[in-house]
Amino acid sequence: MPVAYPAYRVAAAHAAPVFLDLEKTVAKTQSLIDEAARHGAQLIAFPETYIPAFPVWSALAAPIHNHGWFRRLAANAMRCPGPELDRIAATARRAGVFVSLGFNEGTEQSVGCLWNANVLIGDDGAVLNHHRKLVPTFWEKLTWANGDGAGLRVNETRLGRIGVLICGENTNPLARFALMAEGEQVHVSTYPPVWPTRDPRGGGNYDLAAAIRIRAGAHSFEAKVFTIVVSGFMDAAMRDELGAIAPDAARILADTPRGVSMVIGPTGEPVSASKSDDEGLLYADIDTADAVEPKQFHDVVGSYNRFDVFGLTVNRTRLRPARFVADEPTPPPAEDDVGGLSEPGR
């Protein structure tokens, strides 16, 4: 049977959440899925921890001042599985689109443990993959626990083989190679709206948009894939609330480089416009057949590698706090057992 190379429209939701409001952000997510479907998109990707917010406050004030922010985030975190995710999945099924969704994940085991998570939802509403960011970056460690390799995988769909990495994971060559080795064709990379590392007055602040372009171009070129880059957007409500954290917070947010959303082709060049300073859905039409010719030149998971020299092992165990073994009834003793021991020779 000939290999199929799907061609279709994708959407990147360069959007702001309803800041720290789980229910309203879920409703906005559903609305954006419907909007993307009306415009012909078959896959829509949402930013890093879109639901209910990215914890920028950790960059703006010392940890001793941020307990209230963390409580609000934990109270509005989403669970997988959970009722809010079920509603989003039902919308994906009704609209007939695939959804890549970033969210803060809570757990029934702990009221204070959160993960930076992403799910890929199929057009039938099924959760195809559930990934937790392997390592939170810099001040993100104040919010999220380490993830694991359970979601480090590519999913085969009617749109091709889709993989997802979260923000700084796109700088991890082994994480990226793990997805390449599963035949990834379409890659989703998610980012926050801003990522302050210094007071802009002193210079040297991290240029998020530049870092995104380098990462996305490198992965698309090396893997010969389409990369859907989707960054968050900081709207006025989010900016005003965060700007009140500290005397310099509003100025720092105003002068910090923004994230950018775009779609990159398998040559490493953009195949769409970009979005940074305005909110909305960004669309691009992609054709996975465009990756075939570049694979002839350099296929790092095929003819352009030496697997007798290099090797990679990926542990996909889902980490859990404990393993509980169910109590089993003790079998009754045999008729000839006395004190648990049988008579010799019987």
Active-site residue numbers?
48, 133, 167
CB atoms within 10 A of CB 83: 9
* Distance (Å, whole) CA 4 – CA 97: 19
Instruction: Report residue 113: phi and psi, to 5°.
Output: -110, 125
Write the DSSP string, 199-260.
Answer: -GGGS----HHHHHHHHHHHHHHHHT-EEEEEE----HHHHHHHHTSSTTHHHHHHHSPBP-
* Distance (Å, whole) CA 213 – CA 285: 19
* The Cα angle at residue 91 between residues 160 and 155, in degrees rounded to 5: 20
Any idea how long the chain is? 346
| 3-class state of residue 141 by DSSP | helix
* Distance (Å, whole) CA 93 – CA 271: 28
The amino acid that residue 127 corresponds to is V
**Lookup: tokens for 209:** 């948009």
**Lookup: tokens for 284:** 């691009």
Contact 44, 33 (CB under 8 A): yes
**Any alpha helices (H) in the chain, and if so which ranges?**
22-38, 57-60, 67-75, 83-95, 173-180, 208-223, 236-243, 249-255, 292-297
| 3-class state of residue 263 by DSSP | strand
| 3-class state of residue 332 by DSSP | coil
**Lookup: tokens for 34:** 């419907």
Q: In Å, how far from its chain's centre is CA 333?
A: 54
